[in-house]
Amino acid sequence: MVSSPHEAMHRIFQEYPSLFSRLSEVLGVDFPQSTSTRVEPTDLTETWPIERRVDTLLRIETENDGPFLLAIEAQGRKDPDKFASWAYYFTYLLEKYRLPTMLLIVCQDRATAQWAARPVPLGAPQWPAMTLHPLVAGPHNMPVITDVAEARKDLALATLSAITHAGDPDVGVILKTVSAALRDIPDAVAEPIVELIAQGLGNRPAAQQWRNLVAVDLSFYKSPLSEEIRDEGREEGRTEGQAKSLLLVLAARGVEVNDETREKITGCGDPQLLSHWLNRAATASTTEEVFARG
């Protein structure tokens, strides 16, 4: 599984194309209610040998106001070069589809979100030809969802909340809320949520908390991630048992074990090495003999 917060921040809109209707309410922007949404090709390449791709592109239909395009970009850090790229995406899509076009930037830290949200004049300082002003979703304006009923009512928004707050202290309570909301949810519904959140958390500390929640709170749930976590848990249980057995054998034989040695044994995650040490402990009179090479 690709562990990429960038992918999760925009791919969630591919999994749940109607999410923007709810998100626009949260962000306080009055868009017409959508009647249907479809994912469009993201390739914006022209005849020039330069490939340009927007992260996710949606065509959103409305009942009375006609369709509009939503280009979604995941942004992990400040990058001044992005303003020109975003302006290109916007004008290219406007020219190609001749539809109202919106640009949504999804971020995971407040500084990047505030940077992306400010209006940027483009052109000569004396007379800017246009002003880039994208809609931005990030930890500064996404709700912290801590109510299980609220999360269950809108699992897609709760998932986006967890992803955008990935680096915040609040993310732990959001993750617990989402895991509780997923109980008794069909696997087909739970699977993309479990995987998207794992992807969105990347290598942040909260990623391990989510893995633990999936392994414990969602122990009924079967997915590549949950099976991987449970396999790790079984392996950890095996090595923990071997370490305890080794310490018991050494204690029974009167071999002195200092704190450093105890930490070395309990911290070892290699079952083959622990098994090798355990065999040696049966005849060793010192810990040096247990750990000796050869």
Q: What is the largest CA-CA distance in the chain?
A: 86
For range 146-168, the mean pLDDT: 94
| Whole-angstrom distance, CA of residue 158 vs CA of residue 162 | 6
pLDDT per position as a tens digit, 234-281: 555 667 777 887 887 787 677 888 988 888 998 888 888 888 888 788
| 3-state SS track over the chain | CCCCHHHHHHHHHHHCCCHHHHHHHHCCCCCCCEEEEEEECCECCCCCCCCCECCEEEEEEECCCCCEEEEEEEECCCCCCHHHHHHHHHHHHHHHHCCCEEEEEEECCHHHHHHHHCCEEEEECCEEEEEECCEEECCCCCCCCCCHHHHHHCHHHHHHHHHHCCCCCCHHHHHHHHHHHCCCCCHHHHHHHHHHHHHHHCCCCHHHHHHHHHHHCCCCCCCHHHHHHHHHHHHHHHHHHHHHHHHHHHHHCCCCCCHHHHHHHHCCCCHHHHHHHHHHHCCCCCHHHHHCCC
Q: Which residue has the higher pLDDT, 51 or 90?
A: 90
What pLDDT, in 10s, does the model give residues 58-104?
999 998 889 999 999 999 999 998 999 999 999 999 999 999 999 99
Report the side by side order of strands in the sheet with 68-75: 34-40, 56-62, 68-75, 101-107, 135-137
pLDDT at 218: 58
Tell me the backbone φ, ψ of residue 10, rounded to 5 degrees. Answer: -110, -25
Model pLDDT, residue 83: 92
pLDDT given at position 2: 42
If one compares 265 and 48, the residue with the highest pLDDT of the two is 265
- pLDDT range class, residue 175, cuts 50, 70, 90: very high
Whole-number pLDDT of residue 79 = 93
The answer to whether residue 165 scores a pLDDT higher than 80 is yes
Q: Evaluate if residue 21 carries a pLDDT over 70.
A: yes
pTM of the model as a whole = 0.67
Residue 190 and residue 219 in contact, taking contact as beta carbons nearer than 8 Å: no
Measure the CA–CA gap between 119 and 37, rounded to whole angstroms: 28
CB atoms within 10 A of CB 30: 6
Return the closest-CA partner of residue 117 out of 140, 100, 101, 99: 140
- Asked whether residue 217 carries a pLDDT value surpassing 70, the answer given is no
